[in-house]
Amino acid sequence: MNLMSALVGLSIAGAAAPMIAQMSISPYEAQLRSKNLGIAESAAVTFSATNEGGTQLSSNIPDGCEVTEIATLAYDVTCTEGEGTKYVQSVTRSFRLLDDGAAGNLGVYSDDDMDGFDDVTGLPTHYWECYSGWKGSSSDSLKNNCDLGGKYVIPAYASLYD
């Protein structure tokens, strides 16, 4: 190899050295960002899953997380993990709380007229086997095939028939 080839080779290697150094630390940087994303994601998903469908917002907010009300009973939780500007990762997840009287959380109210239906929601208080003979709308048309509060009562409504 002659002197000219050696000088050209060294100058190319010298010019490429910063790029080679950057390529060598890129996997480490990606690993740090990925680790921070995993921690933030885990905190946000856990908090939103804990609160989804509940009636009250948990006061146990994880470190690095902020909760924002975006609408009535609808919230965002944003969790951030990492230091500096290069490796910080943020994740936002949304969840909804239920109102005590909202659909999906209807509650148990009363069956004062003892017709087998909740007086407030109109939902049946027993499994459908009790209502198989129902026809029409007159007061004597409900043909219950079982005793109210008997073995076909839906467990949530059992206290209405004690």
> Is residue 134 domain-shared with residue 61, that is, in the same domain?
no
For 8-39, give one letter per residue: b (16+ CB within 10 A) or e: eeeeeeeeeeeeeeeeeeeeeeeebbeebbeb
pLDDT band at 147 (very low <50, low <70, confident <90, very high): confident
pLDDT tens per residue, range 5-25: 776 676 666 666 666 656 667
- Mean pLDDT over 140-153 rounds to 70
Lowest mean pLDDT among 24-38, 44-58, 90-104, 132-146: 132-146
Assessment of whether the complete model's pTM goes beyond 0.75: no
Q: What is the pLDDT of residue 160?
A: 83
> Is residue 7 domain-shared with residue 85, that is, in the same domain?
yes
Q: What is the pLDDT of residue 22?
A: 62
Structural domain boundaries, residue 128 = 106-162
Q: What is the pLDDT of residue 48?
A: 94
Q: Is the pLDDT of residue 131 over 70?
A: yes
Q: What is the pLDDT of residue 25?
A: 74
> Is residue 71 domain-shared with residue 121, that is, in the same domain?
no
99 against 142, higher pLDDT: 99
Residue 148 falls inside a structural domain: yes
Contact (CB, 8 A) for 152 and 126: yes
Residue 101 falls inside a structural domain: no
Mean pLDDT of the chain: 80
> Is residue 86 domain-shared with residue 13, that is, in the same domain?
yes
Work out the percent of the chain whose per-residue pLDDT is above 90. Answer: 28
Q: How far apart are CA 115 and CA 159, in angstroms?
A: 15
